[in-house]
């Protein structure tokens, strides 16, 4: 599909990779519906697209709220005059060991139900409801072709201290295959991108020593940039023969 033909939702679009994807899509002439809980930042994203061939429409979106997801999809369809794509990017981190024993006191602590539920609610349940409601709208309006890009992670293979995040991202990669098979009769492709460490507001707050240790494990010698991930997203959107697969973009490091 040509990028200029897209009428596409981007979630988690207020900053980081989501904001970058939205701007790059608008540069290519796409209509973009950008959603995020940080609606205070969305106005800046929309302003950054002024004068571009495409347009970025913005509205607050909490993907963990089922009613909000449905309302956002309806709004996006009306605002763009159609809907044929989704970049399923919204995500959060609430890292912690599932069980931890303090080396000094011997006290045992566990990952809280709140830590677990918050990440699963956004990264898996919310992402799934976005796919469900976007595809339902495409099918109801007989829109085809369509394309969905799920943002998984190389952490889906397993990573210490991220049981909640790993569970969500592994499920997204697996369901990329499931959904590609389910939605094929509707002319909708589904692909996934699995980033490694990427320079975003989420990672910029990391301890410098920890960042340096991670960079040392990356063969290309640096943390990824949103533009690196954009190249992969663009490929999935444009290549009509790509379907049901996940592309790792991690500088060769994995986890």
What residues are annotated to the active site?
A: 165
Rounded to the nearest 5°, which phi and psi values hold at 105?
-95, -20
């Amino acid at each position: 599909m040509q990028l200029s033909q897209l009428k596409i939702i981007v979630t988690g679009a207020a900053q980081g990779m989501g904001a970058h994807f939205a701007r790059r899509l608008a540069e290519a002439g796409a209509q973009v519906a950008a959603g995020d809980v940080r609606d205070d930042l969305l106005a800046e994203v929309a302003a950054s697209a002024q004068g571009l061939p495409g347009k970025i429409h913005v509205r607050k979106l909490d993907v963990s709220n089922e009613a909000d997801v449905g309302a956002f999809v309806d709004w996006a369809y009306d605002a763009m005059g159609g809907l044929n794509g989704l970049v399923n990017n919204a995500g959060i981190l609430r890292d912690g060991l599932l069980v931890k024993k303090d080396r000094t006191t011997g006290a045992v602590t566990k990952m809280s139900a709140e830590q677990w539920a918050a990440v699963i609610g956004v990264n898996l349940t919310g992402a799934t409801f976005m796919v469900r409601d976007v595809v339902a709208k495409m099918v109801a309006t007989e829109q085809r072709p369509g394309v969905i890009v799920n943002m998984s992670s190389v952490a889906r293979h397993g990573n210490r201290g991220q049981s909640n995040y790993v569970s969500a991202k592994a499920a997204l990669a697996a369901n990329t295959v499931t959904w590609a098979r389910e939605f094929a009769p509707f002319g909708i492709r589904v692909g996934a991108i699995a980033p490694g460490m990427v320079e975003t507001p989420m990672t910029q707050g990391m301890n410098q020593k920890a960042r340096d240790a991670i960079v040392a494990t990356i063969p290309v010698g640096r943390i990824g940039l949103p533009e690196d991930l954009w190249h992969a997203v663009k490929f999935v959107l444009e290549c009509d023969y790509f379907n049901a697969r996940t592309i790792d973009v991690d500088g060769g490091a994995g986890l």
